[in-house]
Amino acid sequence: MVANGSEIRSSVVASQLDVHVKYGGVVPELASREHLRAIVPVVRQAMEQAGATWDDLSAIAVTAGPGLIGSLLVGVTYAKALCFARQIPLIAVNHVEGHVHSVFLDHPGIAFPALALVVSGGHTHLFETKEAGTYRLLGKTRDDAAGEAYDKVAKLLGFQYPGGPMIDRLAPHGNRRAVKFTRPKMKGNELDFSFSGLKTAVLRWTEQQNMAEEIAARRAVKSSAIEDILKVTPQRTLDLLASFQHAVVEELLRHALISAEQIGAESVIVAGGVACNSGLREAAKKQRGLRFYFPTFHLSTDNAAMIAAAAFPKLQRKEFAKADLKPHPGLVLA
Ligand code: KG4
Ligand code: ZN
């Protein structure tokens, strides 16, 4: 629950990690079932934590897309029902715009024009945002999203899902200059990204290094404690992870800097799960003359506070969703 667009009264996140970890990734049917199971208790808990009653709510915001249809349907249907019962407005929010607002929650005074880099499991997008609420797409990934590349590389190396946080924790133990990855050359829009080549390069490397046994040994480890993982991860693999992380971070930053210059950005907003990445945060800190803004860690990955924050300007403009709102798995922001 968010008051006045920026004051977080409560933030409750129901993690489904335990369910998906067994399958090495998100299983859509299980995701919607878990949503269905969690939605009523999570909303109740958020109301309790905020010390709020239904009468305190001016509106209910819901993610209308992009995302998995089953999960979106659960949220949209429940939000519609609540709004109908309480006779309050419903506000439809784009998930990606939610991520951008996770940064405004902590840094309300960001200077515009800004460049927004949204990097998550589903997105690697660059937007020009001249003022809060306006977006022009400058570039996006043509294949895997950055977080997806992390998750896929981790999976093929025998690490647990989600791979991003694990690779990030292991990368500082390796030498980032050990493995050279060729950078993709983009035909057409130079601001577009491509991460699938990096994933294939990692696969080839594992084959050349005959890593099958090492990978199998890691898959057998059920613990996600870093000391247990380090025991089954030799130096060559730590070096590979450090080099992979370095390549991803360099690619993200390079694009961010070129596009920031193109649009004369005063600030750079980095949002989405991959905004947690320590390598990316450190590299951004070293940039001179351009301010980078990241959300706090708990707001970087998916959460409802960012959706409520993104809904606030729409509430002020009375931009409400119709009663027949339908979720859009492929909803685009710009
Ligand atoms: O925004 P998010 O919670 O969900 C989506 O909308 O996709 O992002 C999840 C993604 C996953 O791919 C996860 O591996 C990645 O963010 N991620 C990270 C880190 N923490 C989460 N990637 C790299 N480094 C991290 N520290
Ligand atoms: Zn997300």
Three-state secondary-structure class, residue 124: strand
In the numeric block, the tokens 């933030």 are attached to 11
Three-state secondary-structure class, residue 143: coil
**Best of 252, 282, 301 to mutate for ligand 1, by most ligand atoms within 8 A of CB?**
301
Give the dihedral sign, CA 59/60/63/64: negative
Q: Report pLDDT digits (tens) over 12-58.
A: 999 888 888 888 888 899 999 999 999 999 999 999 999 999 999 99
Q: Which atom of ligand 1 sits closest to the CA of residue 151?
A: 14
CB-defined site of ligand 1, < 6 Å: 120-122, 147-148, 150-151, 162-165, 168, 272-274, 276-277, 301-302
- pLDDT, the chain, mean: 96
Question: H or E element: which one contains 186?
Answer: none
Compute, in angstroms, the gap from residue 180 CA to the centroid of ligand 2: 30
Ligand nearest to the CA of 147: 1
Ligand nearest to the CA of 96: 2
Q: Give strand pairing partners of 271.
A: 118
- Res. 310: pLDDT tops 90: yes
Compute, in angstroms, the gap from residue 271 CA to the centroid of ligand 2: 9
Kindly list the distances between the CA atom of residue 190 and the CA atoms of 7, 126, 138, 185, 201, in Å, as whole numbers in the listed order: 39, 12, 10, 8, 21
What would the two tokens of residue 306 be? Answer: 């960012």
How much is the pLDDT for 16? 85
Q: Which among 121, 138, 145 has a CA at the least distance from the CA of 16?
A: 121
Cβ proximity of 31 and 14 under 8 Å: no
**Best of 93, 124, 150, 270 to mutate for ligand 1, by most ligand atoms within 8 A of CB?**
150
For Cα atoms 73, 79, 81, give the angle at the middle one, nearest 5 degrees.
100
How much is the pLDDT for 19? 84
Pick the residue whose CA is nearest to atom 20 on ligand 1. 165
Bridge-based pairing of strands 291-293 and 136-140 is: unpaired
Compute, in angstroms, the gap from residue 74 CA to the centroid of ligand 1: 22
To the nearest 10 degrees (0 to 180), the angle between helices 163-170 and 146-156 is: 80
Exposure string of 239-263, with b = 16+ CB inside 10 Å and e = fewer, is bbbbbbbbbbbbbbbebbbebbeeb
- Res. 67: pLDDT tops 90: yes
How much is the pLDDT for 141? 97
Q: Which of the pair, 17 or 86, is modelled with greater confidence?
A: 86
Pick the residue whose CA is nearest to atom 10 on ligand 1. 121
E strand residue ranges, 154-272: 267-271
